[in-house]
Structures are given as C-alpha cells and as structure tokens.
Amino acid sequence: MNEHPATLLRCVVERITYQNPENGYSVLKVKVKGYSDLVTLVGSLLEVPVGSVLLCRGEWKVDKRYGSQFVAATWEETMPATVYGIEKYLGSGLVKGIGPRFARAIVQRFGTETIDIIETDIERLYEVPNIGRKRVAKIRESWEKQKDIKNVMLFLQGYGVSTAYAAKIYREYGKESIEKVRENPYRLADDIWGIGFKTADGIAGKMGYEKEDPRRCRSGILYTLGQLSDEGHVYAEEEQLVKTAGELLEAGEAPIREVLTQMIQAEDLILDGEAIYLPPFYHAECGTARRLRDLAVPTGRSLFDTPFDPSTLTAETGIAYDEIQVAAIRQAVTSKVMVLTGGPGTGKTTTTQGIIAALQKAGLRVLLAAPTGRAAKRMSEATGMEAKTIHRLLEYNPQDGYKRNDENPLEGDALIVDECSMIDILLMNNLLKAVPVGMRLVFVGDIDQLPSVGAGNVLRDIIDSRHIPVVRLVRIFRQAQKSRIVMNAHTINQGRFPDTSNGRDTDFFFMREDDPERAAETIVRLVKERLPRAYRESPDRIQVLTPMQRGVVGAANLNLLLQQALNPSGPSLNRGGYTYRQGDRVMQQRNNYDKDVFNGDLGYIREVDTEERMLTVDFDGKKVEYDVTELDELTLAYATTIHKAQGSEYPIVVMPVLMTHFVMLQRNLIYTGITRAKKICVLLGAAKALAYAVRNVSVLKRNTRLKERLNPSAALPADNPGI
C-alpha cells in the first residue's frame, strides 16, 4: 500500500475502530477507490460519523504492530459523489427519517442524483416504495436543519471542531451559532456540556486569540474554578487559583491577576478574605449556614406534654431499642435539627423507623427524602412510607427550577433525609430554602463514606461544627456481627487489616492476584460464570466497583471486557469509539433535568433504533430516549467507579484492589465500596494494596467554610473530629 505515497486521500468512513474522546485521536477503517481492502486512517478525527466522505491530507506510514496506515494531518468532510458514498452518508443517521434501509431504497431509485433531488425536488421521494407522507416531511425538516448544521460544521471544521460538537453547538445556538462562536469561542466551554476549555481554546487559537487575551484569561479562570469544584472544593485560595490558571493558560501572572480583579469588581467572582468563590457556591454556603442556624433555634415547646418515654414505641413497632438508639429518638423529639450517623449493622434504619414512629405519635406529618432514586427507593422499602428524591420533593423542573423554595415551602412538620453524605453544597442550599422555620429536620448518613461527588463536605462540616446535635451509632447488632462484610467494613474503618481467611460460609472473599491483566480476566469469569453459578444470581445483580476509571482494571476497560462477555451482539449504536447495545447496563453521567435523569442513575438499554439513530433506556421503569449525539451522556455500567456507586446497594459486589490504583487507594474509598454489597463482597488483588488503602487516611482536604460559618469557634481544631 505504501508504494502509492499520496498526500491527498479521499475516502468513505466504514467503521470506527478506536476513539479517544479526550484528545480526539481516532483509528478509522475507510474505503478508498483503487484499494480492495479497507485502509486504516489515523489522526485527530473525533466524532466523524460512519458514512462521512473525507478529504484527508497527510502521509502513509508503516506501523510495526499495525502495518500500513494513512496519518491525516488535516481533513475536511465533503458531500459524497458515488452511489455507495451517498447510501452510506444518508444511512448514517445524520438525516432523521432515513436509516440504512430507506437509504438503500432511495439511492436505488435516484443513484448519483439523490442529493440534488432531496435538495431541490423532495416530492419525488414519493417514487420510492413504502415511503409515507410523515417520513418525507421528517426528511424535509431534517434536511433543512442539516443544511444549517452543515454551514455551522463547515465553519467550525476550519477551526478543528468535530461534527458531533458542531451538532451540539447548533442545538444550543441555532442559526446564531457562527455569530456567537466568532464573537467569543470561550462561551462554548460555559454553555455546552462536553466542550471544555481546551476545545474552546483550540478554536480561539486558530482564530488568532493571543495567550494573554482578557477573554482567554477569564475563561481559563472560570475553567480552573470549575475543575476545582469538580474535585470537591467550594472555593479556591487566591494563590492556588492564580498558580493553577497560570499553568493551564501558560500565561504570565500579571494579566491573570488583572482579569481576576476585574471579575471580582464586576461580581462575576466573590472574594471573601483569601477565598475566591464562583457566586452560586458562595451564596449556597452562606445560605446553608444561615438556614441551619435559623432552623436549629429551639422553640421552647416540647412535642409531648410529659417527658417522652421511648419504651412506648417498642409496643407499637415491635422493636427493642438500645440506649444509643433511645437517645437518638429522644434527640429527634427535642431538637429542631439533628444528625444521625453510623456504619453498617449499627441500626440506622431501625432508629430512623423509631424516630418516624415518635414524630407521628406526636401528631407530626413526616416527609422522607434521599439524594438519588435508588436511595429513595431503599428508604421507601425500609419504612413502608413514600420517600422522594430531593429533586422530586422540591418539584424541580428545568424551566422553572425548584418550585419549592422560601416563597413556597414544603408542607409538613418534619423531614428526614437519608444518605446525607452524598449531598453537595448547592443541593443542600436548595433543600434548606424549602424547609420552613417550624419544620423539624433529621439528617441520616454514614460520615465515614466518601464525600459528595459535587462540591462541599456538607455532612462532615455540620458534624464538625458542633452546632447541631449529633448521635453516632457505634454498637454493631448481634445479627450484623455474623456478616463479615459488616465486620470487615468496621475493621477497615478503624485502620486494621480485614479478615481475609475466606471459607464456605462467609459473605466476604479476598482473592490474591497481583497482575492487572489476569485480575481483569478473573473478574470477567467471576461475573459471567462463577458467582451466578455459586449463588444462583443473574449477572445483572453483580456489580463491579473499581477505584479508577482508567487502567487495565479501571472501569472503562472492564466495561468493554464485560460487554463482550455478557452482551456481545444485537442492535447497537456507536459513539466516541464505544458501542451501546440493546441489553447493555448503562449509567447517566450528568444531571439532565430535561430528561429527568441524574448523574449516577443506572438503567438498561431496552430498544435500539438503527434507522432513527435513537435508543431507549429504562431507568427503574422510566423510559428515556437518547439521540446518537447525546450518547456521551451515557457510559457502560457493568463496572463503575466506587464514587459513582454512592447511595446504591447491590446483591453482589466484585472489587479490584491493586497497586496500579495507588493514587486512589484510601480508607474511605474501600470502606464505601465494601458497604455497597448486601449479600456477597469479593475483593480481588494484592494484600499490599489493601493494606496501603487501610492505612491511607490522607483524604484530599476540600476547601469549604461551612463549619466556620455555622460556628466560628469551630475553626479551632475539634477535640474529636470523628464525633
């Protein structure tokens, strides 16, 4: 092949072998005139759809492992000229109403004139058998839209933007897309999910923006603060922000400080002492502290005319409570706000039931809520009462935001919120806005779990402030003591190496395997064969949890291996190098309020429409449709990171723990992973890695001031930060 050293290659994309969504590096198989076999095309060709006709400039190279390849330096998309190319193009899903079947039928009828006929005389499509009015109307609408998108694409391609991003930009800005991008490409990073600062910066660079352009500095500062909030920080210290933004922008300190000062003056950022906040986080932190202080003010009124006797509850609930549980129930009827915390097997659920019974006995209307759908469902099952997600409780919709707020508060007398370690500062603020001053509030959660995925460390800060009464359940009940999952979770939490002796009757296993490749193979065998056979459980009920996204035993690679093993064939759509197949277990990766699905929601792909390039995901009975351009919101979820599994429980958990993960090996991570397992937990990996994780308590400190805002004297080190 390399005897034709061409620099210009015209080709049709047949299939996508590999794509790296971060840097755009792609490996495509393309059909080239004069070559009997498919040609391998490599280069930065992110999101080029199958069926595209590309004109690539580059050179032929021979790779030692992969043989002859064409390495594209630049590329542009052109309209197909051959019958084959037109069929591929129309069948790729770019035009709604035309899938592979109709593409074939249309091209059979019109040949190379197809594009012209759709463009100038679309009524002739009725000549194609079985093509109805609805479909032609759909094709006409989609083609017009496609033309607009094409113009946007052609404009953006000049700046190295992929077709899929162009479609997203068009969806956001419509016909104004070109104008808005010209005006300020950096707004893409703010407005469009999936386009980060680096993509926007690449466009701006090609447009001739200087490194120290104020618009670039501004966007870099906002991006840096956004990255820090993704790591859990509510604010950035000034020096930390200037240094991190400087490294990102490769710009001098002076222009960054100048733009920073302007942004603070314009109140685009808020400076509080040495802390710099994005306004939503500042207002959320101050608002949360203020409302908690207001709610916690005692009313001086007891719920009961006589001192409360918890033993009366035992007769009603049939549950005997120990002294700490009794103290918790008594606290709930005497305090306006309280926290109930404890690990697995310590009776959090039982105590919560007792609190509900006591509040109802006093004639109070009790509301129940949790951060995620799964946690709310578990709470409902445990209490026999309706529990809502916080978003549903607050009647959230994308158009109006939270309907329940300080002007339209919740109706009820008491609110119990479970899995509070998952609640970030923004959500907590919105929740508290809707809690009227007279309402009692009980926070329930395990403080030793990982903090929230979003910014803040709310439950920890509330406990450490010593401003809100806290009851910590520490006794492990006799029944729970039989579970090695429970006992090992507590052992790890105390900084000791767990019992890994295995045995026939245990629910906790440790399989020694140092080699990541072999560990990955063993995980696939465990999920596909060994565990379903041993415990008569479907693979659907087995969840692989891993400390990291990347690497051989990271979530991304394990998902590909498990998909191949458990669901290798069937109707599918491709996006970004991933295949989404009917029957796949998937997870939502961002809050999408329009679709009413949230980051971490688990579902199954029930339908794949290859004609319309759509698929339908079932999230616990709720059917949600995704267009092919929206598939980057989903990820395969046969394996997921432990962070993403917060608030969920699974019958069987398999978890690799290897030194390749050492940057993430922390005590609270392993503890959180183990406590997700209800029935069986299998750890697989190196004893050294597990010992390292158990010892490692150096959790990244999050920049937050909620504790100090709740109680200024709590800024001093707490005597016992764990309580």
478, burial (CB in 10 Å: exposed 0-12, middle 13-18, buried 19+): exposed
pLDDT of residue 3: 46
Minimum mean pLDDT range among 1-15, 26-40, 113-127, 582-596: 1-15
- Residue 548: Cβ within 10 Å count: 21
Of the pLDDT bands very low, low, confident and very high (cuts 50, 70, 90), residue 714 is low
* Predicted TM-score of the model (pTM): 0.77
**DSSP state, 125?**
G
Q: Which of 84-93, 181-190, 430-439, 565-574 has the lowest average pLDDT?
A: 84-93
Question: Which is higher by pLDDT, 276 or 330?
Answer: 276
Q: Contact, 50 vs 14, CB < 8 A? A: yes
- pLDDT above 60 for 99: yes
Pairing of strands 53-63, 67-78: antiparallel
Integer Cα distance of 303 and 30 in angstroms? 74
Structure tokens, 669: 């991570």
Closest CA to 162 of 629, 572, 633, 578: 629
Amino acid at 185: P
Residue 581 pLDDT exceeds 80: yes
Please choose, from the candidates 331, 414, 423, 407, the residue with its C-alpha nearest in 3D space to the C-alpha of residue 368: 414
Long-range contacts of 387-391 (CB under 8 A, 24+ apart): 387/418, 389/598, 390/417, 390/423, 390/427, 390/430, 390/431, 391/598
pLDDT band at 715 (very low <50, low <70, confident <90, very high): low
Does the pLDDT of residue 382 top 50, yes or no?
Answer: yes
What mean pLDDT is predicted for residues 515-534?
93
Q: What pLDDT score does 23 carry?
A: 61
If you average pLDDT over residues 699-720, what whole number do you get?
Answer: 74
Q: What is the mean pLDDT of residues 341-350?
A: 90
Q: What average pLDDT does the chain have? A: 86
Cα–Cα distance, 508 to 9 (Å, whole number): 57
pLDDT surpassing 50 at residue 214: yes
Q: Is the pLDDT of residue 494 over 60?
A: yes
Distance CA 225, CA 223 (A): 5
Per DSSP, 592 falls in state: B
Average pLDDT score over residue span 578-602:
87
From residue 343, alpha-carbon distances to 120, 223, 348 in Å are 68, 37, 8
3-class SS of residue 56: strand
pLDDT at 595: 87
pLDDT of residue 461: 95
Spell out the residues 6+ positions from residue 162 whose beta carbon is closer than 8 angstroms to its own. 24, 45, 46, 47, 48
What average pLDDT does range 383-396 have in this prediction? 92
Residue 305 above 60 pLDDT? no
Q: Which of 574, 577, 551, 514 is nearest to 639 (CA)?
A: 551
Q: 19 forms bridges with which residues in the sheet? A: 26
